[in-house]
Structure 1
Amino acid sequence: MLSCTYLLIDLFTVIICFIFSFHHKIKFNRHFGAFFKASCIVGLVFIVWDAWFTKIGVWWFNDQYILGIRILKLPIEEILFFICIPFACIFTYYCLDKFFKLNWKPLPEKIFVIVSSIISLIIGIYYHEKVYTSFTFITTSLSLFILYFVLKSRWIGKASFIYLLLMPGFLLVNGILTGTGLPSPIVNYNPAEFLGIRILTIPIEDTAYGYELILWNIYLFQKFKIKEITTSYD
């Protein structure tokens, strides 16, 4: 049973959201296609990133909590992570965006993106010797810049607020993965490759990693969703 721990975390993260996807007032199930296209594209990039970090020893996985099935030397549960976590987050984003007006005014959003991008870039460059810290914060900075200034995404503020609302769930899931409530962590980190600042047992870099993952999922999900709607009217 212990070997199913990571798999159960994936399952419990997604199951309630999946069930409510079929609710008549939500109907998120109509956009499953858009979600899976987006999550597969973004997930592929993050899986390559994940596999690289695993190969160079930035992090590794505790065999007692996983089934032992691996792809690119990553546990199958880690692959599922890039579907289950985005599903829960995109579902939440979709619902809140559907029922509440959470859009930011242009100027505050622009200031937020610029300040966040600059701070992330400074952190990434200053701690260049720490691979996880440097790579994560620099790519987060670039993602914010590209999404806002190049791709003209005007939902960054709203998405950031919703990500903040998702923090309790993030702390629960990532907390268990990094050892909260367990005798030992499921995911272990090389102390030389990150700042050592933790929220409970969670490296602070994980918050930026998750933020970047969700931003790109939202961007592609919305693109594919619009395309689906447009196609249905043709």
Structure 2
Amino acid sequence: MLPYTYLLIDFFTIIICFIFSFHHKIKFNRHFGAFIGASFIVAVFFIAWDIWFTKTGVWWFNDKYLLGIRIFNLPVEEILFFFCIPFACIFTYFCLDKFFKLDWKPLPEKIFVIISIISSLVIGLYFHEKIYPFVTFLSTAITLFILYFILKSRWIGKASFVYLLLMPGFLMVNGVLTGTGLESPIVNYNPDHIIGFRIFTIPIEDTVYGYELILWNIYLFQRLKKTEPGL
């Protein structure tokens, strides 16, 4: 069973959401095309990022928990990660947005975005000698600026709240990947390239990395969903 560990994590991350996608009150399955398009575009950039960090030794993978199939030196399970995690997150965002009014008022949202941008810039620049926090916090600041001030996205507050609600699931999944409950981590991190502060076994940078991943998936999903026939 050990070689299937990472694959099982991907599977259990997505299976419940996938089943409920066909529920008559949700009908998320009608938007599978928009999700696939959005997740593929975002995955291209994040997989390239992943390849770069793996090649430079920022992180690496424990073969004991993998099938052994690699694409561009990345485990196939890691590539699936960039589709399974966004699916669960986008599905949750879609459902909560459908059944609850989670929109923020303009001023609190603007303040939140500005504070988040400044905080990300400060942290990224402060840890400029450590590549993971530098790249992650800096790119997140750029992402927030582009989405809010250039692309005029007015759902950042709502998306951030949903991401917070998803945090227990994130901690569970990423916790196992980083070693919680296992003899050794599936994903290992070079201590020279991370801040060193962890939530249980999870580097703090992972929470910001996931946040940026989900923001771009939401943006592209909503754009592509508008182009779907009959919607």
Structure 1 unaligned segments of length 5 or more: list them. Answer: none
* Letter aligned with residue 214 of structure 2: I
1:68-114, Cα deviation, whole Å (9 max, x unpaired): 10011000000000000000000000000000000000000000000
The equivalent of 2:121 in structure 1 is: 121
Q: Which runs of 4+ in 1 moved over 4 A?
A: none
> What SS is found at the alignment partner of 1:60?
strand
* Letter aligned with residue 84 of structure 2: C
RMSD, aligned α-carbons = 0.6
Structure 2 unaligned segments of length 5 or more: list them. Answer: none
The equivalent of 1:25 in structure 2 is: 25
The two structures have a TM-score, normalised by structure 2, of 0.99
Number of equivalent positions: 231
The two structures have a TM-score, normalised by structure 1, of 0.98
The equivalent of 1:54 in structure 2 is: 54
The equivalent of 1:220 in structure 2 is: 220
1:11-54, Cα deviation, whole Å (9 max, x unpaired): 00000000000000000000000000000000110000000000
Q: Percent identity, aligned pairs only?
A: 76
> What SS is found at the alignment partner of 1:232?
coil
How far, CA to CA, are the matches of 2:167 and 2:189 in structure 1? Answer: 21
What are the equivalent positions in structure 2 for 1:1-234 lying under 5 Å apart?
A: 1-228=1-228, 231-232=229-230
1:232 shift after superposition: 2.5
How far, CA to CA, are the matches of 1:119 and 1:184 in structure 2? Answer: 33
* Letter aligned with residue 211 of structure 1: Y
> What SS is found at the alignment partner of 2:230?
helix
